[in-house]
Amino acid sequence: MISEFIRDYLDNKLTSKQNARLETWYLLKAEENKSVDPPMEYEKLEAKIWNKILSDVSQTEAELPKVQKLNRSYKRIISIGIAASLLLIAGIGYLMLRNNDTTPDRFVIAKKYDLPAGTDKAILTLSDGRVIDLNKDAVGKIANEAGIEITKSADGTLVYKALNTKGKSVGFNTITTPVGGQYAVILPDGSKVWLNAGSSLKYPTAFATSGRSVTLTGEGYFEVAHMEGPNGRVPFSVLVVKNQTQSEKVEVLGTHFNINAYADEPFINTTLLKGSVSVALNDNKTRLLKPGQLAKLGNQNIEVQQADTEMAVAWKNGAFVFREDLRSAMRKVARWYDVEIVYEETAPENLMLGGWMSRGTNISEVLNHIQLTGKVHFKLEGRRVIVSK
């Protein structure tokens, strides 16, 4: 019964997902200009839900007045956008408490043009020029090179294992993920790297005891293994290449970090989760990061600030976390679903989004959820997403 849900809500007995469902149901009922049952608790419920929603979506008093100052019609207008935000944040879709509720036609992306999510796929280029499609190779041994055995594990990870590298010449391998692909690789030193869509990693078949160095384009998440040499710990560095004019060098003193250096992004973002890293620009400007910090490189400058670590590594954990503007979010969508984003003149310029979505869903699910803001419309034509107001 809806009345039982309301009473449990007022007593703070519901889970976060149940809270989101009830709040969404209430707002949609208000938008439909229908009454809420039970009527005797309407005002109390209205005030509590409205103030809680304002808190949940982090709106300031300057942006939206408190509930006591809102008349009923004004609240209904604003509630449409906030209801959509709650749906996106909860990741529950347009799920109502009643099974017979349906999504309005104006929010539906045509299923005939639907596209599946990206998958684990990559191309491996060996030092001798051989090219291997990792999407086609079965589990097991893939190649031997310079005393190194290269295999594909049961979970799809590319694994390097040293057999006999003594006296062998060191070559360089490159793993490249296409748009709509991702892949993980365990390097010869045991370090693990996850590559996001449209990325590449170049690395030696064996690391020297004087230092370890790899080159990244696109986005990668690193968990660096400890390696001892004759002079102690062997340093690990990442040369990050964004374009012909922008690059940075990350010296690793710790273990877990994410680097986003796509050419179409405004900054090179290095986010540290564990350990310590030093970010250098053209070998002169250097900043040291602590866990939970983000280094933003742009305009030949490094800015350090607190990081949204959940959003930074969401892709690696199989999710979209949208706490950003629409166009930033759509760049993620474009890379993962291999689509072109076309903005019409009416497309919103500064629409801020907030929420979580699985990266395993079809593109229609993601677009439909974003459309629930009521401030943007998508039209999917083949591999083109047309954005308008």
Q: SS3 string of 12-32?
A: CCCCHHHHHHHHHHHHHHHHC
> What does the DSSP 8-state code read for residue 321?
E
- The predicted pLDDT at position 301 comes to 87
- In the CATH scheme, what architecture does the domain 119-312 have? Sandwich (2.60)
Predicted confidence at residue 23, as pLDDT, reads 58
Which residue type sits at 236? F
Q: Where do the domains of the chain lie?
A: 2-102, 111-115+318-388, 119-312
Q: Is the model's pLDDT at 22 over the cut of 70?
A: no
Least-confidence region, from 166-170, 174-178, 183-187, 369-373: 166-170
Percent of the chain past pLDDT 70, that is, above it, reads 70
The mean-pLDDT minimum among 80-89, 91-100, 186-195, 373-382 falls in 91-100
pLDDT of 25 above 80: no
Would you say the C-alpha torsion 133, 201, 193, 198 has a positive or negative sign? negative
- Say if residue 2's pLDDT is above 90: no
pLDDT at 165: 66
Q: What is the pLDDT averaged over residues 51-71?
A: 40
Alpha-carbon span 122 to 375, nearest angstrom: 37
Q: What is the pLDDT of residue 337?
A: 97
Q: What is the CATH number of domain 111-115+318-388?
A: 3.55.50.30
pLDDT of residue 385: 95
Residue 264, pLDDT score: 93
The total number of residues shown for the chain amounts to 389
pLDDT for the residue 91: 37
Residue 105 has pLDDT above 60, yes or no: no
CB of 76 within 8 A of CB of 82? no
The per-residue pLDDT for 225 is 93
Res 230: pLDDT? 86
Question: What mean pLDDT, rounded, does the chain reach?
Answer: 78
What average pLDDT score do residues 355-369 get? 92
* Cβ contact 268:242 at 8 Å: yes
- According to the model, what pLDDT value does residue 169 have? 78
Q: Is the pLDDT of residue 18 over 50?
A: yes
Mean pLDDT, residues 345-370 taken together: 92
Tell me the C-alpha distance between 257 and 269, whole Å: 10
Over range 288-315, report the average pLDDT. 93
- Mean pLDDT, rounded, for 96-101: 32
What percentage of the chain has pLDDT greater than the value 90? 50
Residues 20-29 have a mean pLDDT of 54
Alpha helices in 272-350 (DSSP H): 309-312, 326-337
Phi, psi of 232 (to 5 degrees): 100, -150
| This prediction's pTM | 0.73
Coil, helix or strand at residue 93: coil
Task: Tell me the three state secondary structure of residue 342.
Answer: strand
pLDDT above 50 for 151: yes
